[in-house]
Amino acid sequence: MANVLMYSSQVCPYCRMAEKLLATKGITEIEKVLIDLDPSKREEMMQRTGRRTVPQIYIGDTHVGGFDDLSALDKAGGLDKLLQQ
């Protein structure tokens, strides 16, 4: 399974929804970067992704985007392939 990194915050409902979706795919370990605990990580996230909102999800080296992007990728059949890399 691919490594999953998620820029997140402790109070983000979309982050929890993304975690639940990934759990249904067998992903039990997600490297979480909590931007609300370390403001420099928000800057890092914005530099890497060009986006300001969480979650921002990486699967391997691929920036998937937020929860809506993750869900759309799953519905299109691309999430399983990406996770297998």
* Digit-coded pLDDT (tens) for 4-20: 999 999 999 999 999 99
* Digit-coded pLDDT (tens) for 39-64: 899 999 999 999 999 999 999 999 99
CA distance 52 to 61: 19
**DSSP labels, 8-63:** E-TT-HHHHHHHHHHHHTT----EEEETTT-HHHHHHHHHHHS--SS-EEEETTEE
Give me the residues paired with residue 57 across strands: 6, 65
The CATH number of residue 45's host domain is 3.40.30.10
- What pLDDT, on the 0 to 100 scale, is given for residue 85? 84
List CB contacts of 7: < 8 A, sequence separation 6 or more.
33, 35, 41, 45, 49, 54, 55, 56, 57
Q: How many domains does the chain have?
A: 1
- What pLDDT, on the 0 to 100 scale, is given for residue 31? 97
CA distance 10 to 85: 28
Question: For the whole model, what pTM was predicted?
Answer: 0.95
User: Which residue range is the domain that position 37 belongs to?
Assistant: 4-84
